[in-house]
A and B are shown apart, each in its own frame.
Chain A
Amino acid sequence: EPEVTQTPSHQVTQMGQEVILRCVPISNHLYFYWYRQILGQKVEFLVSFYNNEISEKSEIFDDQFSVERPDGSNFTLKIRSTKLEDSAMYFCASSEMRGVGEKLFFGSGTQLSVL
């Protein structure tokens, strides 16, 4: 079965630094998502992206965050100036369609540690 690929699997950064988390969605998928999971807490929706623009975002997704699909295959999440509370597992997901019952395919996540 095709997979969503995320790199790196672990990222350590200093507070205030910029990080870019990378994802390669499944090739024929059109809808892309970022979720995050702070240790011991729920998986939370961050943003969805379609047709080169954000279609929905949560209140977590403030001006420090941005997403981009720079080259038609990669889908990136940038955090401009990381804070300690950004430490979490970040999951990328993609889907072929947008229907409410549509299956999301998730990557294995990037564990971000902000020191």
Chain B
Amino acid sequence: AQTVTQSQPEMSVQEAETVTLSCTYDTSESDYYLFWYKQPPSRQMILVIRQEAYKQQNATENRFSVNFQKAAKSFSLKISDSQLGDAAMYFCAYRSARGGGATNKLIFGTGTLLAVQP
């Protein structure tokens, strides 16, 4: 079974600085997707960024980028130029591509609570 581990329960960053959130996962599959979701105080989970396992190039969305190390099963999120609005819980998630995406479920980590200091 696949598992996702986020070893940092809490992180803090100064406004305008860069922070990296860690995520490791375990799977025997070769094709899958990885995601980072943000959960602000409003509680609604919002997709931040996604990475296809077969792509070597790291995904980037504006100030958010990932460092995807497939052999190491590592998927960290880097937030550059941190803003107060980035303060939230961040969840790493895995989704199998087995069966062409027939399985719908996301497997989540336990989350990292990010605080942004002004």
- Chain A's nearest CB lies how many Å from the CB of B66? 14
Are B32 and A100 in touch, CB under 8 angstroms? Answer: yes
Say if the beta carbon of B46 comes within 8 Å of chain A.
Answer: yes
Give the size range of A's interface with the partner: 20 to 34
Are A41 and B44 in touch, CB under 8 angstroms? Answer: no
Are A44 and B43 in touch, CB under 8 angstroms? Answer: no
- Chain A's nearest CB lies how many Å from the CB of B44? 4
Are A100 and B95 in touch, CB under 8 angstroms? Answer: yes
Say if the beta carbon of A75 comes within 8 Å of chain B.
Answer: no
The distance in angstroms between the C-alpha atoms of A56 and B111, with both chains bound, is 24
**Contact with B105, one of A42, A58, A99, A109 (Cβ below 8 angstroms):** A58
Which of B13-21, B72-80, B96-104 contacts its partner?
A: B96-104
Q: Size of chain B's interface in residues, with CB distance under 8 A?
A: 28
Are A99 and B101 in touch, CB under 8 angstroms? Answer: yes
**Contact with A100, one of B91, B100, B107 (Cβ below 8 angstroms):** B100
**Contact with A109, one of B43, B95, B97 (Cβ below 8 angstroms):** B43
* Closest A residue to B32 using CB positions: A100
Say if the beta carbon of B56 comes within 8 Å of chain A.
Answer: no
Interface code A77-115, partner B: CB below 8 Å = 1, 0 otherwise? 000000000000101010000111111101111000000
Residues of chain A with a CB closer than 8 A to B111's CB = 42-43
Residues of chain B with a CB closer than 8 A to A103's CB = 47, 50
The distance in angstroms between the C-alpha atoms of A87 and B101, with both chains bound, is 31
Are B104 and A56 in touch, CB under 8 angstroms? Answer: yes
* Closest B residue to A44 using CB positions: B108
- Chain A's nearest CB lies how many Å from the CB of B22? 16
Say if the beta carbon of A55 comes within 8 Å of chain B.
Answer: yes
* Closest A residue to B34 using CB positions: A101
Enumerate chain A interface residues (CB-CB to B < 8 A). 3-4, 31, 33, 35, 41-45, 48, 55-56, 58, 89, 91, 93, 98-104, 106-109
Q: List 19 A-B contacts (CB under 8 A).
A: A4-B44, A41-B110, A42-B109, A42-B111, A43-B108, A45-B104, A48-B105, A55-B104, A98-B104, A100-B33, A100-B96, A101-B33, A101-B50, A101-B52, A103-B47, A106-B37, A107-B44, A108-B44, A109-B43
